Structure 1
Amino acid sequence: MKVTFTAKLKLRHSPEQKIALDAVTLAYRDALNHTSRVAFEQNKMSSAMKLQTLTYTGIRETFDLPSQMACNVPRQVAATNKGLWTKLKQHNDRQAQIITVKPKRRFRPFRGFDAPAKYVSRTLTYNFGRDFSWKKGQQVSVQTLEGRQVMAYEGYAAHLKHIEAGCKIGAAKLYYQRGKRQYYLLVSFEVDLPDPQPADHKTVVGVDVGQRYHAVVTDTRDRSLFFSGQAINQKKGCFEAVRKTLQRKGTRSATRRLIAFSGRERRFIADRNHSLAAQILNAYPEAVIGLENLKDIRERVGPHTRTKADKTAKVAGGSEQAKAEKRRKNNRRRSQWSFAELQTFIAYKAPFKGSMAVQVDAHYTSQQCVKCGHTSKQNRPGSGLLFVCEVCGFQVHADLLGARNIALRTLAVRQDWTATGALSVRPDVSDKEAKAARLLRYAELRWSPDTSP
């Protein structure tokens, strides 16, 4: 089994070498923005070959980039536009589905193509063997406008071990962190790992991600971990308060501070997710870890909006303002929910611990009783943290119930893997009959043999 990792290498550059890296990254960024404007004028062109034909000569003459970088620029812009075209199609499909269900809902236009894609970060792409190569003594040679620059690097020991062993190296990105005034080289490499076997993963784990509890984890032996998000959410609230103050101020210095502040908040959240992923994998090594498939969860659930009761309520004391503020707070927290990043970190780190991550259906994981199989919204009174089955009376923490349901569905995937010899996750299809068949199978799963009649 071939697995691709990304090594973050800190470059030990001198002041002179930093000046050379500054020049090439700024020239590359200017070339990206120039090419983006050309592509926008050509009807948002997404063909890399056509865009390269139009812009290659101009990039070489105007920005003095080496030939390989001059080829990478139109490819990157074309890939960006191709992604935007895909998002446009998905956006229109979702809006059509929403309007079908709610005819009075206004069609929201896609804003991605209102202007050419703008590139701000000083990041460029290197090709192994052409723009960068390894040197003896843990050094790397990278291309600049003034020729090659050789500098030492450091990084995660496990990544360095694979690089020194001569693994297959892919492309790299030169990334600049403004706060530290430091350049990093993000190198992708491929490692051959033994094909996973069911016998190698005897533990089955379910991970339920949420906003009040960022992660609730349990295995089939009922060993559970709770990771509360209260302190993190309070910290996010502090970030939000400072951001509002700077936005109201509106000066140039406030705008600069906002940019730096957004990077700080993003790094804070990423550090939290890295820490959570590491704790989960250290607690459950060599396991099959089930993660919910939450693709397009925000579009499916939708934002909190004013209900008919809110509009007709005539309660004194500013209750309308309180409700509106509560809706805004809920929408903000939902938009800041970084579940995909956490799941990506878990899946990325899992092979280093001898584990593997699979995605399972997320339908009704917080509404389905693990004791009798009954599924209903009424099992969650007030949508709180307590699950109370209206049929058998079983009570449990709602997020723990979700983790148990995910673990049971992961166990079903592992059983199919053992029986067939092929790891096949449940297909994410829209066919109603296929979905009904999967949900019927899930309803037969039980956490304990002590079930209700």
Structure 2
Amino acid sequence: MKLVVQVRLLPTPEQAAALEATLRAVNAAACQVSTLAYDQRVFRNYDLRKHAYTSIKDHYGLAAQAAQHVIKKVADAYAVLHANLRAGNLGKPGSARRLKAESKPIVFRSEAAQPFDDRCLSWQIDARTVSIWTVAGRLKDLTFTASAEQLKTLSAYRKGESDLVCRDGMWFLIATCDLPDRPVSLPDGFLGVDLGIANIATTSTGTRHCGKALNAVRHRRRELRRRLQAKGTKSAKRLLKKRRRAEARFAANTNHVIAKQIVTEAERTGQGIALEDLQGIRDRVRLRKPQRVTLHAWSFHQLGSFISYKAARAGVAIIHVDPSYTSQQCSACGHVDKNNRPDQETFSCTSCGFAEHADVNAARNIASRGVAGWAVSHAA
């Protein structure tokens, strides 16, 4: 299982200037290679090397390995673009969004991340320093800070490339770590998880991670953002820039907390975790306008991915099930009827009279489908 560890660099002003110059150089080179690839319709890594390697190495003062990483970055960017075009993620052929993506070469920001391998970057974990190549020469004894757990993970499992990132004037290295897969324990039943708007996540045991307070915070921040955008002054724009990642950090932290609690409960009880397969949920559901903002703004996919990787680290089985009619189906008798939901919170079966909180009932249906799906997929 692959994870990333992000550590913060603590460069001196001279070291920071060298790092900044390096990012500007490699991304300017990447833009040149991208234009060449687009004009000549050459997108494969090794073909691009024949056309661009010598010119960018000499013109931008790049080391040999750095120049190859620039070319590979461009090739990977076009591979992602073409995959999105084939999958229809950028619209149908002829649509404005698709034409915009196809009509010009990919452009790299001057501070876009740059990958470094072990030839360009070496770690001294015990000393908490790194040695990294820059256009100003090799920087040695560049200090970084990390938690004890991060240091342990880096020391034992770091493998492959690390990305140099500049974010809001701060410098980070994001290292790839390859952890061994933990054997999945045979589950004793499944913990169903229903994802929603009023409650971010509800488990089949009745635990509800309420979204009311979260939505209030997000509504307040959204209103502040709207007022600042309408104001349009320099100070308003400065504050908007300062706060632009605040909600993303807030959502990620909330999703981490919820995911950890769910995985801990499943691990403690010896159960697996059953999640809804929410692929394409934004295209399927029909909601009132106020709810659309909440649905499209909250990262349910991120929450699901956090649960999945935390479950894999803990050896907890996980399965994705079809979410169709889980909110209308009675978890006691199986009767499906939209009239079983008289309101958002309440589930009351019109057949057997069973009553429960609607999200808990849905989570129990997801848990049942998890048991059935596991039995089918792991039949002897």
Query: Structure 2-normalised TM-score?
Result: 0.86
Matched, 1:209 2:195: yes
**How far apart, in 2, do the equivalents of 1:194 and 1:352 lie?**
6
SS in 2 for 1:147: coil
Cα distance in 2 for residues equivalent to 1:247 and 1:113: 31
Letter in 2 for 1:377: K
Q: Which residue of the partner structure matches residue 330 of structure 1?
A: 291
1:72 to 62, 69, 75: 69
Indicate which of 109, 119, 142 corresponds to 1:120: 109
Any stretches of 5+ residues in structure 2 without a counterpart?
A: none
Could you tell me which amino acid in structure 1 is paired with residue 179 of structure 2?
V
Q: In 2, are the aligned partners of 1:125 and 1:171 still within 8 Å (CA)?
A: no
Residue of 336, 356, 370 corresponding to 1:396 = 356
Identity of aligned residues (%): 31
1:190–1:260 CA distance, 2 compared to 1 (3 A):
same
Q: How much is the aligned-residue C-alpha RMSD, in angstroms?
A: 2.9
Q: 1:154 aligns with which of 139, 145, 159?
A: 145
Structure 1 residue identity aligned to 2:28: D
Shift of 1:256: 4.6
Contact 2:159 2:177 in 1 (8 A): yes
Determine if the alignment matches structure 1 residue 406 to structure 2 residue 357: no
8 A Cα contact 1:69 1:125, kept in partner:
no
Quick one: which amino acid aligns to residue 9 of structure 1? V
* Partner SS for 1:224: coil
Letter in 1 for 2:280: D
Amino acid at match of 1:407: A
- State the partner residue of 1:238: 220
Unaligned runs of 5+ in 1: 97-105, 305-325, 421-453
DSSP-derived class of the 1:393 partner: coil
Give a deviation string over 1:419-443, Cα, whole Å, max 9, x none.
Answer: 43xxxxxxxxxxxxxxxxxxxxxxx
- 2:315 aligned with 1:366, yes or no? no
Q: Is the 8 A contact 1:8 1:156 kept in 2?
A: no
Contact persistence 1:203–1:284 (CA under 8 A): no
* Distance of 1:241 and 1:49 partners within structure 2: 50
TM-score w.r.t. the length of structure 1 is: 0.74
Relative distance call for 1:388 and 1:153 in structure 2 (3 A) is: same
Shift of 1:154: 3.4
Give the match's secondary structure for 2:174: strand
Query: Helix, strand or coil: the match of 1:32?
Result: helix
2:355 matched to 1:355?
Answer: no
CA distance in 2, matches of 1:244, 1:93: 27
Q: Deviations over 1:314-337 (max 9, x none)?
A: xxxxxxxxxxxx62x333222202
My pick for the range that moved more, 362-371 or 127-136, is 127-136
In the other structure, the counterpart of 1:187 is: 175
The residue identity in structure 1 corresponding to 2:130 is V
Distance 1:260 1:74, change over 3 A: farther
CA contact (8 A) 1:7 1:155 kept: no
Alpha-carbon deviations, 1:349-382, whole Å to 9, x = none?
Answer: 2244342433222222222221121223333235
In 2, the alpha carbon distance for the partners of 1:107 and 1:391 equals 48
1:22 to 20, 23, 29: 20
Number of residues of Structure 1 aligned to a counterpart in Structure 2: 375
Kindly state the Cα deviation for residue 261 of structure 1 after the two structures are TM-superposed.
Answer: 2.3
2:160 corresponds to 1:170: yes
Q: In structure 1, what is the Cα distance between the partners aligned to 2:97 and 2:203?
A: 39
Give the conservation status (yes or no) of the 8 Å contact 2:158–2:175.
no
Q: Find the counterpart in structure 2 of residue 137 from structure 1.
A: 127
Aligned partners of 2:104, 2:250: CA distance in 1, in Å?
Answer: 30
**Preserved CA contact (<8 Å) 1:28 1:124:** no
Alignment-mate amino acid for residue 29 of structure 1: N
Structure 1 distance, partners of 2:210, 2:30, is 42
Per the TM alignment, residue 194 of structure 1 is displaced from its structure 2 partner at its CA by 4.0
Aligned to 2:32: 34
